[in-house]
Structure 1
């Protein structure tokens, strides 16, 4: 077998690729070149058209049959923004920290798993990497397309680890065993434009929108469940067309997001909002996009394998959590049990995003233990 992959060097090479979502091209070439010497059969898949595509995904397979351990992750990143201390796509190490866009979320975890796999000779079953170029975007042609590709070939992992940065204060302190669902909704309230001095000749939509906002904001969705916090509805935008100070607008709109637990379903929440909107403003419309349902992985082997590896490598007893945002586990849970585990997440999406070099090396060791245990 070739000399094993250096996780720090590979993380730097991946960060140096400008892979703002949706990612294609060079960043996948870097990962493919790294994996091929270690017996992986690499498939690069491109699908979709604008506005949500094209998107590139990568599936790397080694071995065959069960047990099949999959590692899921993404190589796309959010735009870097302004204010970096250097080029966000020129990885550098300062005071023991690797700095660059994607260092934390989540190119370093992809590199750590690739390094871990390079150290382990395939004794039984299958190891796969399921890597998307569209996790930070709409995900229309991302992980769902990977799942389609697997199903067309009757390939089904028995367990999947997603390398999202889940740790909080220290590496290993948090493993995500489920995620809340998410639904975005856009409310449009029509009116009739007119002069503020002649309101009887106009129809002002703003008061009706205000009543909708107040009614929805007053809703109590639930008290949470054993594994999840309470669901929450948050308004993220309220707007009218720009106009003069003496102009009644022709329409008014609002945007909201609901993060919901396993007591709720996305479609039911959409109907609830539609009923409130219809009651407060007949003629108003609601458009909804359900990003994913809440999911919870039941206790089983993947828990034990990941938790035991964390304990052995770090001495930390991880907390099993469902907090935070969603992940591509919302898609992958249809295949098999899924847990999310990765680096401390304090700098994800921030200016000068960074991760401790020592944590990348420890994460590679943890993933190596996971691979060995899955094959045992």
Structure 2
């Protein structure tokens, strides 16, 4: 670890976070992170099962038996670093500057995993617990997310396993640690759309069929559509175009095809099938020939306020003295696979301002606070 020359003893959460950051676990590579985690969990009585698929490392580690089943979930894979010369220090050399830990994965989400493990070490040292305590750790969250948590959930569901609670260690805080927890997520529905026309000369438009001219009014209608009004927990559903392409490169050719990629981030007031049907109704009016390749990244979910949220709020108030807001925005996470499984699910983690950015970082003082919050939730629900 590189330090600022005056590094005090920061505690076990910091040390484990540094060990994890130092492993180059670029998605979908685990980089040996799960083996490191099991070296800490096995002495506590956890049994490891490797539910790997498609080259993805998936750790399912359990201790105890029966209900309630509490899952601590996270991912070891990280996004690419971006230009190395724009980092102030090597992204895989954990570095301390002014009480801040820098490195790829520092906030998303190796510090969360480290805080979970250390919380469990203290929790178990204090006495036995009821039910089952489990870790679900994957190396396929930042990538395709097909063979990671999604796969593990399918395997465990087939065995009849149903969790009661799940905590995902994603970076959830906004401006200060503990000011926000994620209690739900919007769904994500995307589409690769290709509109077919007929290539021709721009001087003879009657002999061609310009797909761009057909696509533009359809997109204008889709952009102007109010898909729903949202509700008390979610903003209205959003439609966004991310890519648009057509043409041969020549300035005198009517293109034969036009391609567009768009995405819905949708709330619980709409379903994927409803959104698809409404889009197809618009396209059918404007585009005689098209192909729509849809993909669903996750359905929306909302955890109702019950014992898990109550325990999370009480633990945060005890650790940092503030009452967190409930949040359902942002992107997707592996909670989208766990919540529909039947678990009350929340996301609690450090400040998310630097995730996926250059010079990703976490405040070192927040690591012990985060670990204390996790331990408090375990105490309230499993003692």
- TM-based fold match above 0.5: yes
Matched, 1:211 2:217: yes
SS of the residue 1:150 aligns to: helix
CA distance in 1, matches of 2:203, 2:119: 71
Q: Which residue, out of 88, 97, 100, partners 2:100?
A: 97
CA gap of 1:369–1:58, structure 2 versus 1, over 3 A, is same
What is the correspondence of 1:63-102 to structure 2 with a 5 Å cutoff?
A: 63-82=64-83, 83-102=86-105
Match of 2:360 in 1: 353
CA distance in 2, matches of 1:91, 1:242: 48
Match of 2:59 in 1: 58
CA distance in 2, matches of 1:278, 1:264: 21
Match of 1:112 in 2: 115
RMSD across aligned positions (CA): 1.4
Give the drift of 1:244. Answer: 1.4
2:23·2:31 contact (CA, 8 Å) conserved in 1?
A: no
2:183·2:302 contact (CA, 8 Å) conserved in 1?
A: yes
CA distance in 2, matches of 1:201, 1:149: 56
Instruction: Name stretches of at least 5 consecutive residues in structure 2 with no aligned partner.
Output: 1-10
Q: Which residue, out of 347, 351, 357, partners 1:344?
A: 351
SS of the residue 2:229 aligns to: coil
CA distance in 2, matches of 1:208, 1:34: 60
Give the drift of 1:241. Answer: 4.4
TM-score normalised per structure 2? 0.92
CA gap of 1:315–1:298, structure 2 versus 1, over 3 A, is same
What is the correspondence of 1:17-166 to structure 2 with a 5 Å cutoff?
A: 17-48=23-54, 54-82=55-83, 83-121=86-124, 122-166=128-172
- 4+ runs deviating over 3 angstroms: 152-155
CA distance in 2, matches of 1:232, 1:300: 29
Match of 1:286 in 2: 292
1:25·1:56 contact (CA, 8 Å) conserved in 2?
A: no
CA distance in 2, matches of 1:284, 1:149: 37
Match of 1:363 in 2: 370
Deviations 1:248-278 (A, max 9, x none): 2121111111111100101211121111111
Give the drift of 1:370. Answer: 1.2
1:243·1:249 contact (CA, 8 Å) conserved in 2?
A: no
1:166·1:340 contact (CA, 8 Å) conserved in 2?
A: yes
TM-score normalised per structure 1? 0.94
SS of the residue 1:348 aligns to: coil
Q: Which residue, out of 7, 12, 36, partners 2:13?
A: 7
Deviations 1:167-222 (A, max 9, x none): 10111111111111110111111122222223233221111111111110110111
1:209·1:253 contact (CA, 8 Å) conserved in 2?
A: no
2:192·2:293 contact (CA, 8 Å) conserved in 1?
A: yes
CA distance in 1, matches of 2:206, 2:315: 71
CA distance in 2, matches of 1:351, 1:99: 10
